[in-house]
Amino acid sequence: MMTSLLKLTFCVYLIVSVVRACMLWKRFTCTEPMQVWLVAHQLITLCLCMLHGLVHRIGEPDAGGLLPVRGNRCQRVVSLFVLIVLVPAFIVSDTVGLLWFLGYSEEKSACWPSDVVNDPQVVALVLFGGCFWGVIFVLFGLSLLCNGALFRARALNFAREQGRTGSQRNLIVPLQNLLQHCPEAQCDKDCTAYCSICQDNCREDQQMRTIVVCGHQFHSECLERWLRNRPVCPNCQQDVTTPVVV
């Protein structure tokens, strides 16, 4: 509740800041177009703040930590937009502002109109706080890239091992045939399954598949990606097409 209130207060501040900057537009006399930067930066920050809160409320609330990149389709699209478009734009605008304020002097203060909302010290404080969040988003994005690279490396290594042991013929089994041995179901609120492929828990309303021959469970999307290259269980390496002996 407190976090939501703080986020709402910050969004209100950003909106008021944009309105005040527009009202005092002609009173900015700096050589640099600081009023343009101020409005652009506050709008980018506002969009980032609002979308970050919204994306957690349009589906699964905890599907991926900072951004629900493993949630439903809408959550994944919005999360990618935030990471690929808004975060780089925010980091660039924040850096431009910091460079200007680091050289802020008495001479420069004369070109900035006096305003309680857009006081230079307040704006500078927001910029330094933005640096922290920018680093958090960058680290989150790098972790996703590292996990993806690790996943592809594991797939490549396994494919090579299969080729060396003469099991390469299993790799050409159609995916639909493999999925027949891995029935799909929706995870309920009591689900405690852990997907070792993406290293995340299966949450309520997520689609999951169970490999019949061994009983191991995974996210449907994760297992389908895995089976496209290797028709075995990621945990025990057992062929998913192995007949079940009753």
The pLDDT value recorded for residue 152 is 72
CATH topology of domain 172-246: Herpes Virus-1 (3.30.40)
Domain-wise residue ranges, the chain: 2-149, 172-246
pLDDT, tens digit (0-9, with 9 covering 90-100), for 168-225: 444 456 888 888 889 998 888 778 888 888 877 888 888 889 999 888 999 888 888 8
Task: For residue 166, report the phi and psi dihedrals to the nearest 5 degrees.
Answer: 80, 15
Question: What's the whole-number average pLDDT of the chain?
Answer: 83
Range among 35-39, 59-63, 220-224 rated most confident:
35-39
Q: Which residue has the tokens 């050409």?
A: 172
| Banded model confidence at residue 167, pLDDT cuts 50, 70, 90 | very low
| Banded model confidence at residue 86, pLDDT cuts 50, 70, 90 | very high
